[in-house]
Chains A and B, each alone.
Chain A
């Protein structure tokens, strides 16, 4: 599969204008797109390379606590949000539906890239649910750390099957998700969504999942069960902050597979990504241009304790060995005596 990129800067001027984040702002991140194709009757391992457009960018005035759920009060003039306007509320009836599920992403500071799901909001507050291993320790606020020192946040919608892939893919096209696969390796999909031609449905419940949130940082498989090549574009806001991916082992003395994608619209050299690897860690890449379903990895990168090497040749990787935008990968974390995790926090190369 060929992937073409356009690191568009349509709105770059507004981003670079230096508008203060301490206020409710109207700034936009630059937008771009990544084109992907999936051969007929084949799988492609994909990942989201960009964000959805932020609904709010601002600064943390204060937080109520460091453990989840955290309520953030934003700095500056109250944005006067409607009660729970960032909480999914639909589908009910036309006019009252709020079909987005929102996330708060830390856009600066020690835990830049951390994501929390919005569970409630007030006029200038937003309450978020953090992943089990995350907390707000070390987060700076205007109140605690002085004016101008609060960490920045973005409030943005999660991607959904509908917003990422559209609703008009041919019926029988499938989205295979791998969130929460459990301990071990060679894990099959935990979510199988099917395109109906006008929506997406969950195989578990037959529910409409067109607007169900997709977790940040995970790769997925798009399965083209039709006889013609699928072409689609991922269109979104170019990430202007670091990504933060937690790489975990979930069992005792068991290698762990975790499908992931790096949030960037351009190729990113693996050797420059600061991946917190240990000897025995492996990254599998897949040839999305090859035909077939349930395809084996086409390339294997291994960490030997000091550097990443091509597992077939043994050659150290160079800057030419990259993670491709829009592609998904499989990280096989080397086993640990007991479940543990490390945080991979890295800004795209164009922000370095």
Chain B
């Protein structure tokens, strides 16, 4: 019998260096909803894409569109333009799969994240900035293929996507209630920096040229 069901990702969070802790994040739940529609760059829900979560450990937002490539197999802080950022990636070791959705998601037959896994990783990520703590915002991230320059990836957030405290098992299935729209992987690793970054770069170059003209 196929029913909407749950997915979870367990994330290691450390409370102190001598211990480890986990939380379980459910993105689907029996009788509530399941997460479907995770798609490739063309907008087609696709099975077999690796996914994880990115945590905004410093509360300064996500660097969507600007991340450098990283190992999809290892947890760690990401970087943007070769500068280490404060966004922390947690791999689930899982991939999108065939949905067994019902109800509003019945038409979606691929690109679901339904697995539950207990992820091991750094227990207490403290550098380069901020600590991963409860109430940090996170987003789901998925890759069309293993990250390399130009690889497409997608990110999905929701106001409810806040890390629970250590030891908790928390459902975020309500974010997927109703007809899940397809979510295309429309960002690229090592892609053109965001407009704000371009602007900063432009201002810097203007300064360099101005200095040269004076000299």
Contact yes or no, A185 B19, CB < 8 A: yes
Contact yes or no, A188 B1, CB < 8 A: no
Contact yes or no, A206 B2, CB < 8 A: yes
Contact yes or no, A196 B115, CB < 8 A: no
A321 CB–B CB distance under 8 Å: no
From B26-34, B79-87, B139-147, B184-192, the one touching the partner chain is: B26-34
A294 CB contacts on chain B under 8 angstroms = 164-165, 167-170
B100 CB–A CB distance under 8 Å: yes
Contact yes or no, A196 B30, CB < 8 A: yes
Give bound CA distance, A49 to B15, whole Å: 33
B5 CB contacts on chain A under 8 angstroms = 194, 201, 203, 206
A182 CB–B CB distance under 8 Å: yes
Contact yes or no, B10 A174, CB < 8 A: no
Chain A nearest CB from B113 CB (Å) reads 11
Contact yes or no, B123 A201, CB < 8 A: no
A190 CB–B CB distance under 8 Å: yes
Contact yes or no, A196 B31, CB < 8 A: yes
Give bound CA distance, A213 to B7, whole Å: 21
Chain B nearest CB from A338 CB (Å) reads 14
Q: Which of A196-220 contact B (CB under 8 A)?
A: 196-199, 201-206, 208
Q: Which of B1-46 contact A (CB under 8 A)?
A: 1-3, 5-8, 10, 15, 18-24, 26, 28-32
Give bound CA distance, A294 to B166, whole Å: 10
A192 CB–B CB distance under 8 Å: yes
Contact yes or no, B123 A184, CB < 8 A: yes
A120 CB–B CB distance under 8 Å: no
> Smallest CB-CB separation from B112: which chain A residue?
A206
- Given A172-B29, A203-B114, A206-B100, A182:B120 Cβ within 8 A: yes
B126 CB–A CB distance under 8 Å: no
B118 CB–A CB distance under 8 Å: yes
Chain B nearest CB from A42 CB (Å) reads 13
Contact yes or no, B19 A203, CB < 8 A: no
- Given A172-B31, A194-B5, A225-B29, A188:B20 Cβ within 8 A: no
Mark each residue of chain B from 89 to 126: 1 if its CB lies under 8 Å from any CB of chain A, else 0: 00000000000100000000000001111101001000
Contact yes or no, A186 B1, CB < 8 A: no
Mark each residue of chain A from 243 to 255: 1 if its CB lies under 8 Å from any CB of chain B, else 0: 0000000010111
Partner of B169, one of A192, A197, A206, A335: A192
Give bound CA distance, A205 to B23, whole Å: 19
Contact yes or no, A194 B167, CB < 8 A: no
Give bound CA distance, A171 to B21, whole Å: 29
Chain A nearest CB from B26 CB (Å) reads 6
Contact yes or no, A171 B3, CB < 8 A: yes
A290 CB–B CB distance under 8 Å: no
A122 CB–B CB distance under 8 Å: no
Give bound CA distance, A255 to B31, whole Å: 37
Contact yes or no, B29 A194, CB < 8 A: yes
- Given A185-B19, A190-B118, A176:B169 Cβ within 8 A: yes
Contact yes or no, A186 B19, CB < 8 A: yes
- Given A185-B21, A254-B19, A174:B1 Cβ within 8 A: no
A189 CB–B CB distance under 8 Å: yes
Contact yes or no, A187 B167, CB < 8 A: yes
Give bound CA distance, A221 to B165, whole Å: 17
Give bound CA distance, A181 to B26, whole Å: 17
B116 CB contacts on chain A under 8 angstroms = 191-192, 202-204
Give bound CA distance, A174 to B8, whole Å: 13
Partner of A225, one of B1, B2, B24, B32: B32
A176 CB contacts on chain B under 8 angstroms = 169
B26 CB contacts on chain A under 8 angstroms = 192, 203
Chain B nearest CB from A61 CB (Å) reads 42
Choose among A170, A174, A195 the residue with the greatest number of B CB atoms under 10 Å from its CB. Answer: A174
Give bound CA distance, A191 to B117, whole Å: 9
- Given A171-B31, A172-B31, A204-B116, A187:B22 Cβ within 8 A: yes
Give bound CA distance, A189 to B1, whole Å: 24
B171 CB contacts on chain A under 8 angstroms = 225
Partner of A184, one of B2, B3, B6, B21: B21
Identify 16 residue pairs between A and B in the complex whose beta-carbon atoms are under 8 Å apart, listed by A's number.
A182-B20, A186-B21, A187-B22, A188-B21, A188-B22, A188-B23, A188-B168, A189-B24, A190-B118, A192-B8, A194-B31, A203-B26, A204-B116, A204-B117, A206-B3, A255-B18
Sort A-B residue pairs by CB-CB distance and give the 6 closest, nearest first.
A194-B30, A172-B31, A171-B31, A184-B20, A186-B167, A186-B21
11 further A-B pairs in the complex, CB-CB below 8 A; given A181-B22, A188-B10, A253-B18:
A184-B20, A187-B21, A188-B21, A188-B23, A189-B24, A190-B10, A194-B29, A194-B31, A203-B28, A204-B115, A204-B117
